[in-house]
Structure 1
Protein backbone atom coordinates (compact mmCIF):
# COMPACT_ATOMS: atom_id res chain seq x y z
CA UNK A 1 0.00 0.00 0.00
CA UNK A 2 2.86 2.35 0.86
CA UNK A 3 4.53 1.63 -2.50
CA UNK A 4 1.28 2.32 -4.37
CA UNK A 5 0.82 5.61 -2.59
CA UNK A 6 4.40 6.58 -3.36
CA UNK A 7 3.91 5.71 -7.05
CA UNK A 8 0.75 7.79 -7.16
CA UNK A 9 2.52 10.75 -5.63
CA UNK A 10 5.36 10.45 -8.22
CA UNK A 11 2.84 10.44 -11.05
CA UNK A 12 1.14 13.50 -9.57
CA UNK A 13 4.46 15.32 -9.32
CA UNK A 14 5.34 14.48 -12.93
CA UNK A 15 1.92 15.60 -14.10
CA UNK A 16 2.23 18.80 -12.15
CA UNK A 17 5.69 19.39 -13.60
CA UNK A 18 4.34 18.86 -17.12
CA UNK A 19 1.48 21.25 -16.52
CA UNK A 20 3.90 23.74 -15.06
CA UNK A 21 6.18 23.48 -18.09
CA UNK A 22 3.28 23.92 -20.49
CA UNK A 23 1.98 26.84 -18.45
CA UNK A 24 5.45 28.39 -18.42
CA UNK A 25 5.74 27.91 -22.19
CA UNK A 26 2.29 29.39 -22.73
CA UNK A 27 3.26 32.36 -20.58
CA UNK A 28 6.50 32.93 -22.50
CA UNK A 29 6.48 36.08 -24.56
CA UNK A 30 9.24 37.28 -26.87
CA UNK A 31 9.85 40.73 -28.17
CA UNK A 32 11.03 40.96 -31.76
CA UNK A 33 14.66 41.13 -30.66
CA UNK A 34 14.31 38.25 -28.22
CA UNK A 35 12.61 36.09 -30.83
CA UNK A 36 15.35 36.82 -33.36
CA UNK A 37 18.04 35.91 -30.82
CA UNK A 38 16.23 32.72 -29.74
CA UNK A 39 15.93 31.55 -33.36
CA UNK A 40 19.41 32.60 -34.46
CA UNK A 41 18.33 35.22 -36.97
CA UNK A 42 18.07 39.00 -37.21
CA UNK A 43 15.41 41.48 -36.17
CA UNK A 44 15.16 42.61 -39.75
CA UNK A 45 14.37 39.03 -40.88
CA UNK A 46 11.60 38.67 -38.29
CA UNK A 47 10.11 42.01 -39.38
CA UNK A 48 10.39 40.99 -43.04
CA UNK A 49 8.52 37.70 -42.48
CA UNK A 50 5.94 39.59 -40.44
CA UNK A 51 5.43 42.02 -43.29
CA UNK A 52 5.04 39.12 -45.76
CA UNK A 53 2.33 37.53 -43.62
CA UNK A 54 4.39 34.48 -42.70
CA UNK A 55 4.75 35.29 -39.02
CA UNK A 56 2.28 37.36 -37.02
CA UNK A 57 2.67 38.38 -33.36
CA UNK A 58 0.42 36.62 -30.87
CA UNK A 59 -0.04 39.72 -28.77
CA UNK A 60 0.95 43.32 -28.28
CA UNK A 61 2.30 45.05 -25.20
CA UNK A 62 0.57 48.05 -23.65
CA UNK A 63 3.01 50.23 -25.55
CA UNK A 64 2.11 48.53 -28.85
CA UNK A 65 5.24 46.38 -29.14
CA UNK A 66 4.87 43.04 -30.89
CA UNK A 67 4.99 39.99 -28.64
CA UNK A 68 5.53 36.45 -29.87
CA UNK A 69 4.65 33.18 -28.15
CA UNK A 70 6.48 29.83 -28.08
CA UNK A 71 4.35 28.64 -31.01
CA UNK A 72 5.53 31.64 -33.00
CA UNK A 73 9.13 30.72 -32.23
CA UNK A 74 8.50 27.20 -33.54
CA UNK A 75 6.91 28.61 -36.67
CA UNK A 76 9.89 30.89 -37.25
CA UNK A 77 12.27 27.93 -36.85
CA UNK A 78 10.15 26.06 -39.41
CA UNK A 79 10.22 28.99 -41.85
CA UNK A 80 14.00 29.36 -41.50
CA UNK A 81 14.46 25.62 -42.13
CA UNK A 82 12.34 25.73 -45.29
CA UNK A 83 14.20 28.81 -46.49
CA UNK A 84 17.54 27.06 -45.91
CA UNK A 85 16.26 24.15 -48.03
CA UNK A 86 15.80 26.54 -50.94
CA UNK A 87 12.04 27.07 -50.89
CA UNK A 88 10.74 30.46 -52.00
CA UNK A 89 8.64 32.65 -49.72
CA UNK A 90 5.57 31.95 -51.87
CA UNK A 91 6.12 28.21 -51.46
CA UNK A 92 6.64 28.58 -47.71
CA UNK A 93 3.46 30.62 -47.39
CA UNK A 94 1.53 27.96 -49.29
CA UNK A 95 2.84 25.27 -46.94
CA UNK A 96 1.95 27.26 -43.81
CA UNK A 97 -1.56 28.07 -44.98
CA UNK A 98 -2.48 24.55 -46.12
CA UNK A 99 -4.11 21.95 -43.85
CA UNK A 100 -2.06 19.39 -45.83
CA UNK A 101 1.24 21.08 -45.12
CA UNK A 102 3.26 17.88 -44.78
CA UNK A 103 2.03 16.48 -48.11
CA UNK A 104 2.77 19.77 -49.87
CA UNK A 105 6.12 20.03 -48.13
CA UNK A 106 7.06 16.52 -49.26
CA UNK A 107 6.20 17.37 -52.87
CA UNK A 108 8.16 20.63 -52.72
CA UNK A 109 11.19 18.90 -51.23
CA UNK A 110 11.09 16.24 -53.95
CA UNK A 111 11.01 18.97 -56.59
CA UNK A 112 13.86 20.86 -54.90
CA UNK A 113 15.91 17.66 -54.74
CA UNK A 114 15.34 17.05 -58.47
CA UNK A 115 16.38 20.62 -59.26
CA UNK A 116 19.51 20.33 -57.14
CA UNK A 117 20.46 17.06 -58.86
CA UNK A 118 20.15 18.77 -62.24
CA UNK A 119 22.30 21.66 -61.03
CA UNK A 120 24.88 19.22 -59.66
CA UNK A 121 25.00 17.39 -63.00
CA UNK A 122 25.47 20.71 -64.80
CA UNK A 123 28.30 21.67 -62.44
CA UNK A 124 29.91 18.25 -62.93
CA UNK A 125 29.67 18.73 -66.69
CA UNK A 126 31.38 22.13 -66.41
CA UNK A 127 34.07 20.64 -64.18
CA UNK A 128 34.75 17.87 -66.72
CA UNK A 129 34.98 20.49 -69.49
CA UNK A 130 37.49 22.52 -67.46
CA UNK A 131 39.54 19.39 -66.73
CA UNK A 132 39.49 18.42 -70.43
CA UNK A 133 40.67 21.90 -71.44
CA UNK A 134 43.42 21.82 -68.83
CA UNK A 135 44.49 18.39 -70.05
CA UNK A 136 44.64 19.70 -73.63
CA UNK A 137 46.85 22.61 -72.59
CA UNK A 138 49.21 20.34 -70.62
CA UNK A 139 49.40 17.63 -73.31
CA UNK A 140 49.23 19.52 -76.57
CA UNK A 141 50.11 23.09 -75.63
CA UNK A 142 46.83 24.24 -77.19
CA UNK A 143 43.08 23.61 -77.10
CA UNK A 144 41.95 20.80 -79.37
CA UNK A 145 38.29 21.70 -78.81
CA UNK A 146 37.15 25.25 -79.56
CA UNK A 147 33.38 24.75 -79.82
CA UNK A 148 30.72 23.37 -77.50
CA UNK A 149 30.18 20.30 -79.69
CA UNK A 150 33.92 19.65 -79.86
CA UNK A 151 34.19 20.01 -76.08
CA UNK A 152 31.40 17.46 -75.57
CA UNK A 153 33.24 15.04 -77.85
CA UNK A 154 36.49 15.75 -76.03
CA UNK A 155 34.91 14.88 -72.70
CA UNK A 156 33.49 11.69 -74.21
CA UNK A 157 37.01 10.85 -75.42
CA UNK A 158 38.39 11.34 -71.91
CA UNK A 159 35.76 9.11 -70.33
CA UNK A 160 36.34 6.44 -72.99
CA UNK A 161 40.09 6.65 -72.41
CA UNK A 162 39.66 6.07 -68.67
CA UNK A 163 37.38 3.08 -69.33
CA UNK A 164 39.82 1.61 -71.85
CA UNK A 165 42.75 1.97 -69.48
CA UNK A 166 40.74 0.06 -66.87
CA UNK A 167 40.03 -2.68 -69.43
CA UNK A 168 43.72 -2.86 -70.36
CA UNK A 169 44.74 -3.23 -66.72
CA UNK A 170 42.16 -5.98 -66.14
CA UNK A 171 43.12 -7.91 -69.29
CA UNK A 172 46.80 -7.49 -68.44
CA UNK A 173 46.24 -8.99 -64.99
CA UNK A 174 44.35 -11.94 -66.51
CA UNK A 175 47.16 -12.47 -69.03
CA UNK A 176 49.76 -12.55 -66.25
CA UNK A 177 47.66 -14.96 -64.21
CA UNK A 178 47.27 -17.24 -67.24
CA UNK A 179 50.92 -17.65 -68.24
CA UNK A 180 52.43 -17.46 -64.74
CA UNK A 181 49.81 -19.86 -63.36
CA UNK A 182 50.36 -22.47 -66.07
CA UNK A 183 54.14 -22.07 -65.73
CA UNK A 184 53.97 -22.72 -61.99
CA UNK A 185 51.62 -25.66 -62.66
CA UNK A 186 54.15 -27.16 -65.04
CA UNK A 187 57.03 -26.72 -62.58
CA UNK A 188 55.14 -28.21 -59.66
CA UNK A 189 53.30 -31.05 -61.37
CA UNK A 190 55.13 -31.66 -64.63
CA UNK A 191 51.94 -31.02 -66.60
CA UNK A 192 53.12 -28.65 -69.35
CA UNK A 193 50.43 -28.81 -72.01
CA UNK A 194 48.39 -25.85 -70.52
CA UNK A 195 51.44 -23.57 -70.71
CA UNK A 196 51.72 -23.23 -74.53
CA UNK A 197 47.95 -22.82 -74.77
CA UNK A 198 48.13 -20.01 -72.24
CA UNK A 199 50.98 -18.37 -74.17
CA UNK A 200 48.93 -18.45 -77.39
CA UNK A 201 45.92 -17.00 -75.57
CA UNK A 202 48.08 -14.30 -74.00
CA UNK A 203 49.61 -13.40 -77.37
CA UNK A 204 46.16 -13.23 -78.98
CA UNK A 205 44.81 -11.04 -76.18
CA UNK A 206 47.82 -8.74 -76.41
CA UNK A 207 47.44 -8.45 -80.18
CA UNK A 208 43.74 -7.65 -79.78
CA UNK A 209 44.52 -4.95 -77.19
CA UNK A 210 47.09 -3.28 -79.44
CA UNK A 211 44.93 -3.38 -82.58
CA UNK A 212 41.86 -2.09 -80.77
CA UNK A 213 43.84 0.67 -79.08
CA UNK A 214 45.39 1.65 -82.40
CA UNK A 215 41.91 1.90 -83.94
CA UNK A 216 41.02 4.59 -81.41
CA UNK A 217 44.30 6.50 -81.17
CA UNK A 218 46.00 9.34 -82.99
CA UNK A 219 49.25 11.16 -82.26
CA UNK A 220 50.14 14.83 -82.47
CA UNK A 221 53.36 15.64 -84.31
CA UNK A 222 55.27 18.38 -82.46
CA UNK A 223 56.96 19.55 -85.68
CA UNK A 224 54.09 20.11 -88.12
CA UNK A 225 51.17 19.77 -85.63
CA UNK A 226 49.53 17.05 -87.73
CA UNK A 227 47.25 14.62 -85.91
CA UNK A 228 47.96 11.21 -87.45
CA UNK A 229 47.28 7.52 -87.06
CA UNK A 230 50.47 5.44 -87.17
CA UNK A 231 51.01 2.21 -89.07
CA UNK A 232 50.33 -0.86 -86.96
CA UNK A 233 53.89 -2.15 -87.25
CA UNK A 234 55.39 1.16 -86.13
CA UNK A 235 52.83 1.32 -83.34
CA UNK A 236 53.90 -2.13 -82.11
CA UNK A 237 57.64 -1.50 -81.95
CA UNK A 238 57.78 2.21 -81.03
CA UNK A 239 59.17 3.31 -77.68
CA UNK A 240 56.45 4.85 -75.58
CA UNK A 241 55.43 6.38 -72.27
CA UNK A 242 51.89 6.40 -70.79
CA UNK A 243 50.98 9.47 -72.89
CA UNK A 244 53.51 9.64 -75.75
CA UNK A 245 55.02 7.42 -78.43
CA UNK A 246 58.14 7.91 -80.57
CA UNK A 247 56.84 7.86 -84.14
CA UNK A 248 57.64 9.13 -87.60
CA UNK A 249 55.07 11.63 -88.81
CA UNK A 250 53.62 10.63 -92.22
CA UNK A 251 53.24 14.32 -93.10
CA UNK A 252 56.61 15.94 -92.38
CA UNK A 253 58.68 12.76 -92.05
CA UNK A 254 60.24 13.74 -88.71
CA UNK A 255 60.57 11.21 -85.90
CA UNK A 256 59.57 12.66 -82.55
CA UNK A 257 57.87 11.92 -79.28
CA UNK A 258 54.24 12.45 -80.24
CA UNK A 259 51.47 13.03 -77.70
CA UNK A 260 48.77 10.37 -77.68
CA UNK A 261 45.06 11.12 -78.03
CA UNK A 262 42.36 8.51 -77.50
CA UNK A 263 39.03 8.81 -79.36
CA UNK A 264 35.77 7.36 -78.09
CA UNK A 265 34.76 6.17 -81.57
CA UNK A 266 36.98 4.24 -84.02
CA UNK A 267 38.64 6.58 -86.51
CA UNK A 268 37.71 6.76 -90.17
CA UNK A 269 41.36 7.45 -90.96
CA UNK A 270 43.67 4.95 -92.62
CA UNK A 271 46.79 3.75 -90.81
CA UNK A 272 49.75 5.92 -91.75
CA UNK A 273 47.51 8.90 -92.59
CA UNK A 274 46.83 12.21 -90.88
CA UNK A 275 43.43 13.42 -89.73
CA UNK A 276 41.98 15.69 -92.47
CA UNK A 277 42.33 19.35 -91.67
CA UNK A 278 45.10 18.95 -89.08
CA UNK A 279 48.14 18.89 -91.37
CA UNK A 280 49.57 22.09 -92.86
CA UNK A 281 52.67 20.45 -94.31
CA UNK A 282 53.30 21.10 -97.99
CA UNK A 283 52.41 17.80 -99.66
CA UNK A 284 49.41 17.02 -97.51
CA UNK A 285 48.06 20.57 -97.75
CA UNK A 286 48.38 20.42 -101.53
CA UNK A 287 46.57 17.07 -101.63
CA UNK A 288 43.75 18.47 -99.49
CA UNK A 289 43.54 21.56 -101.68
CA UNK A 290 43.34 19.44 -104.83
CA UNK A 291 40.68 17.28 -103.26
CA UNK A 292 38.61 20.35 -102.52
Structure 2
Protein backbone atom coordinates (compact mmCIF):
# COMPACT_ATOMS: atom_id res chain seq x y z
CA UNK A 1 0.00 0.00 0.00
CA UNK A 2 1.40 3.38 -1.02
CA UNK A 3 2.10 5.86 1.73
CA UNK A 4 1.13 9.52 1.52
CA UNK A 5 3.46 12.41 2.29
CA UNK A 6 3.11 16.11 2.90
CA UNK A 7 5.48 18.59 1.29
CA UNK A 8 7.51 18.67 4.52
CA UNK A 9 7.70 14.86 4.67
CA UNK A 10 8.89 14.68 1.08
CA UNK A 11 11.51 17.38 1.59
CA UNK A 12 12.87 15.66 4.70
CA UNK A 13 13.13 12.25 3.02
CA UNK A 14 14.91 13.74 -0.01
CA UNK A 15 17.23 15.90 2.09
CA UNK A 16 16.15 19.20 0.53
CA UNK A 17 14.12 22.23 1.62
CA UNK A 18 10.34 22.58 1.45
CA UNK A 19 10.83 25.61 -0.78
CA UNK A 20 12.75 23.46 -3.28
CA UNK A 21 9.90 20.92 -3.47
CA UNK A 22 7.45 23.77 -4.04
CA UNK A 23 9.74 25.20 -6.71
CA UNK A 24 9.85 21.86 -8.58
CA UNK A 25 6.05 21.76 -8.44
CA UNK A 26 5.85 25.31 -9.82
CA UNK A 27 8.23 24.41 -12.68
CA UNK A 28 6.10 21.38 -13.59
CA UNK A 29 8.54 18.53 -12.90
CA UNK A 30 7.03 17.28 -9.62
CA UNK A 31 3.26 17.57 -9.35
CA UNK A 32 1.47 16.26 -6.23
CA UNK A 33 -0.71 13.21 -6.65
CA UNK A 34 -3.55 14.85 -4.78
CA UNK A 35 -4.69 18.06 -3.08
CA UNK A 36 -6.72 18.30 0.13
CA UNK A 37 -9.80 20.51 0.37
CA UNK A 38 -7.61 23.05 2.10
CA UNK A 39 -5.14 23.06 -0.82
CA UNK A 40 -2.36 21.01 0.84
CA UNK A 41 -0.24 18.95 -1.52
CA UNK A 42 -0.27 15.18 -1.03
CA UNK A 43 2.49 13.00 -2.47
CA UNK A 44 2.89 9.22 -2.75
CA UNK A 45 5.83 6.80 -3.09
CA UNK A 46 6.12 7.29 -6.85
CA UNK A 47 6.42 11.06 -6.30
CA UNK A 48 9.21 10.48 -3.79
CA UNK A 49 11.02 8.29 -6.33
CA UNK A 50 10.66 11.00 -8.98
CA UNK A 51 11.96 13.66 -6.59
CA UNK A 52 15.04 11.54 -5.87
CA UNK A 53 15.60 11.24 -9.62
CA UNK A 54 15.31 15.02 -9.97
CA UNK A 55 17.84 15.55 -7.19
CA UNK A 56 20.22 13.08 -8.84
CA UNK A 57 19.92 14.82 -12.21
CA UNK A 58 20.47 18.22 -10.61
CA UNK A 59 23.69 16.88 -9.08
CA UNK A 60 24.72 15.97 -12.63
CA UNK A 61 24.14 19.63 -13.63
CA UNK A 62 20.91 19.00 -15.57
CA UNK A 63 18.82 22.17 -15.89
CA UNK A 64 15.13 22.24 -14.96
CA UNK A 65 14.17 22.48 -18.64
CA UNK A 66 16.37 19.49 -19.53
CA UNK A 67 14.77 17.42 -16.75
CA UNK A 68 11.30 18.44 -17.94
CA UNK A 69 12.11 17.36 -21.51
CA UNK A 70 13.64 14.11 -20.29
CA UNK A 71 10.57 13.17 -18.25
CA UNK A 72 8.41 13.89 -21.29
CA UNK A 73 10.27 11.33 -23.42
CA UNK A 74 8.82 7.85 -23.90
CA UNK A 75 12.18 6.23 -23.09
CA UNK A 76 12.88 8.39 -20.01
CA UNK A 77 13.37 5.33 -17.80
CA UNK A 78 15.96 3.81 -20.12
CA UNK A 79 17.88 7.10 -20.26
CA UNK A 80 17.79 7.40 -16.48
CA UNK A 81 19.01 3.81 -16.18
CA UNK A 82 22.01 4.59 -18.40
CA UNK A 83 22.79 7.70 -16.35
CA UNK A 84 22.65 5.71 -13.13
CA UNK A 85 24.96 3.01 -14.52
CA UNK A 86 27.49 5.64 -15.62
CA UNK A 87 27.22 7.41 -12.28
CA UNK A 88 27.95 4.14 -10.47
CA UNK A 89 31.01 3.54 -12.67
CA UNK A 90 32.29 7.08 -12.06
CA UNK A 91 31.73 6.79 -8.32
CA UNK A 92 33.63 3.49 -8.20
CA UNK A 93 36.50 5.08 -10.12
CA UNK A 94 36.62 8.03 -7.71
CA UNK A 95 36.57 5.67 -4.74
CA UNK A 96 39.49 3.70 -6.22
CA UNK A 97 41.47 6.94 -6.70
CA UNK A 98 40.73 8.05 -3.13
CA UNK A 99 41.82 4.65 -1.81
CA UNK A 100 45.08 4.91 -3.78
CA UNK A 101 45.71 8.37 -2.30
CA UNK A 102 44.93 7.03 1.18
CA UNK A 103 47.39 4.16 0.74
CA UNK A 104 50.06 6.62 -0.44
CA UNK A 105 49.42 8.88 2.55
CA UNK A 106 49.70 5.94 4.97
CA UNK A 107 52.99 4.87 3.39
CA UNK A 108 54.34 8.42 3.62
CA UNK A 109 53.32 8.61 7.27
CA UNK A 110 55.28 5.41 7.94
CA UNK A 111 58.32 6.96 6.25
CA UNK A 112 58.04 10.10 8.34
CA UNK A 113 57.83 8.08 11.56
CA UNK A 114 60.93 6.08 10.59
CA UNK A 115 62.99 9.16 9.64
CA UNK A 116 63.32 10.85 12.99
CA UNK A 117 65.84 13.65 13.13
CA UNK A 118 65.87 14.12 9.36
CA UNK A 119 64.92 17.44 7.81
CA UNK A 120 61.26 17.52 6.87
CA UNK A 121 61.80 19.68 3.78
CA UNK A 122 60.90 16.71 1.62
CA UNK A 123 57.35 16.91 3.06
CA UNK A 124 57.04 20.41 1.64
CA UNK A 125 58.14 19.02 -1.73
CA UNK A 126 55.50 16.30 -1.55
CA UNK A 127 52.79 18.81 -0.64
CA UNK A 128 53.83 21.08 -3.52
CA UNK A 129 53.80 18.17 -5.95
CA UNK A 130 50.30 17.08 -4.92
CA UNK A 131 48.88 20.61 -5.25
CA UNK A 132 50.63 21.08 -8.59
CA UNK A 133 49.70 17.74 -10.11
CA UNK A 134 46.45 18.75 -11.83
CA UNK A 135 47.97 21.81 -13.52
CA UNK A 136 50.99 19.73 -14.60
CA UNK A 137 48.73 17.06 -16.13
CA UNK A 138 46.74 19.70 -18.02
CA UNK A 139 49.94 21.16 -19.44
CA UNK A 140 51.17 17.72 -20.50
CA UNK A 141 47.83 17.04 -22.18
CA UNK A 142 47.86 20.39 -24.02
CA UNK A 143 51.46 19.85 -25.13
CA UNK A 144 50.72 16.34 -26.41
CA UNK A 145 47.63 17.47 -28.34
CA UNK A 146 49.48 20.43 -29.86
CA UNK A 147 52.41 18.29 -31.03
CA UNK A 148 50.04 15.63 -32.37
CA UNK A 149 48.09 18.23 -34.39
CA UNK A 150 51.34 19.68 -35.75
CA UNK A 151 52.48 16.23 -36.92
CA UNK A 152 49.06 15.44 -38.44
CA UNK A 153 49.09 18.77 -40.32
CA UNK A 154 52.61 18.06 -41.61
CA UNK A 155 51.75 14.54 -42.77
CA UNK A 156 48.50 15.82 -44.31
CA UNK A 157 50.35 18.38 -46.42
CA UNK A 158 52.87 15.77 -47.56
CA UNK A 159 50.08 13.38 -48.63
CA UNK A 160 48.16 16.19 -50.31
CA UNK A 161 51.22 17.27 -52.29
CA UNK A 162 51.70 13.67 -53.45
CA UNK A 163 48.03 13.28 -54.38
CA UNK A 164 47.91 16.56 -56.32
CA UNK A 165 51.44 16.06 -57.63
CA UNK A 166 52.27 19.54 -56.46
CA UNK A 167 55.51 18.79 -54.71
CA UNK A 168 56.13 22.41 -53.78
CA UNK A 169 53.56 21.80 -51.00
CA UNK A 170 55.91 19.24 -49.48
CA UNK A 171 58.69 21.83 -49.36
CA UNK A 172 56.31 24.31 -47.75
CA UNK A 173 55.33 21.68 -45.17
CA UNK A 174 58.97 20.93 -44.38
CA UNK A 175 59.76 24.64 -44.18
CA UNK A 176 56.90 25.27 -41.74
CA UNK A 177 57.15 22.14 -39.64
CA UNK A 178 60.57 22.62 -38.05
CA UNK A 179 60.03 26.28 -37.00
CA UNK A 180 56.51 25.46 -35.83
CA UNK A 181 57.61 22.42 -33.86
CA UNK A 182 60.50 24.37 -32.32
CA UNK A 183 58.12 27.16 -31.31
CA UNK A 184 55.82 24.64 -29.60
CA UNK A 185 58.72 23.15 -27.64
CA UNK A 186 59.95 26.60 -26.58
CA UNK A 187 56.45 27.74 -25.63
CA UNK A 188 55.68 24.74 -23.46
CA UNK A 189 59.16 24.69 -21.96
CA UNK A 190 58.39 28.16 -20.59
CA UNK A 191 55.32 26.77 -18.80
CA UNK A 192 57.39 24.39 -16.65
CA UNK A 193 59.74 24.93 -13.73
CA UNK A 194 61.93 22.43 -11.85
CA UNK A 195 62.42 21.58 -8.19
CA UNK A 196 65.89 20.53 -6.99
CA UNK A 197 65.82 17.51 -4.63
CA UNK A 198 69.00 18.70 -2.86
CA UNK A 199 68.38 22.35 -1.94
CA UNK A 200 64.59 22.32 -2.56
CA UNK A 201 64.80 25.46 -4.71
CA UNK A 202 62.83 25.98 -7.91
CA UNK A 203 64.56 27.09 -11.12
CA UNK A 204 64.11 27.39 -14.87
CA UNK A 205 66.84 25.74 -17.02
CA UNK A 206 68.21 27.13 -20.26
CA UNK A 207 66.66 25.86 -23.47
CA UNK A 208 69.79 23.91 -24.48
CA UNK A 209 70.03 22.17 -21.12
CA UNK A 210 66.31 21.41 -21.20
CA UNK A 211 66.47 19.95 -24.72
CA UNK A 212 69.55 17.77 -24.13
CA UNK A 213 68.75 16.54 -20.61
CA UNK A 214 67.81 12.95 -19.90
CA UNK A 215 64.33 12.67 -18.47
CA UNK A 216 61.59 10.48 -17.07
CA UNK A 217 57.83 11.23 -17.39
CA UNK A 218 57.99 13.58 -14.36
CA UNK A 219 61.68 14.50 -13.91
CA UNK A 220 64.57 15.88 -15.95
CA UNK A 221 68.32 15.57 -15.22
CA UNK A 222 69.46 19.16 -14.73
CA UNK A 223 72.10 21.17 -12.89
CA UNK A 224 70.56 23.32 -10.16
CA UNK A 225 71.83 26.94 -10.40
CA UNK A 226 71.47 27.32 -6.62
CA UNK A 227 73.43 24.34 -5.22
CA UNK A 228 75.12 23.33 -8.54
CA UNK A 229 74.17 19.67 -8.03
CA UNK A 230 73.18 17.70 -11.13
CA UNK A 231 70.31 15.31 -10.55
CA UNK A 232 66.83 14.38 -11.65
CA UNK A 233 64.72 17.42 -10.77
CA UNK A 234 60.96 17.34 -10.39
CA UNK A 235 58.94 18.99 -13.16
CA UNK A 236 56.19 21.39 -12.02
CA UNK A 237 53.74 23.72 -13.70
CA UNK A 238 54.59 27.36 -13.10
CA UNK A 239 52.56 29.13 -10.42
CA UNK A 240 50.91 31.51 -12.90
CA UNK A 241 49.69 28.44 -14.82
CA UNK A 242 48.21 27.00 -11.61
CA UNK A 243 46.51 30.34 -10.91
CA UNK A 244 44.97 30.41 -14.40
CA UNK A 245 43.63 26.87 -13.96
CA UNK A 246 41.97 27.84 -10.67
CA UNK A 247 40.18 30.71 -12.36
User: With structure 1 as the length reference, what TM-score do the two structures score?
Assistant: 0.43
Structure exhibiting the larger radius of gyration computed from Cα positions:
1
User: With structure 2 as the length reference, what TM-score do the two structures score?
Assistant: 0.49
Flag the structure with more relative contact order, 1 or 2, with Cα contacts below 8 A and sequence separation at least 6: 2
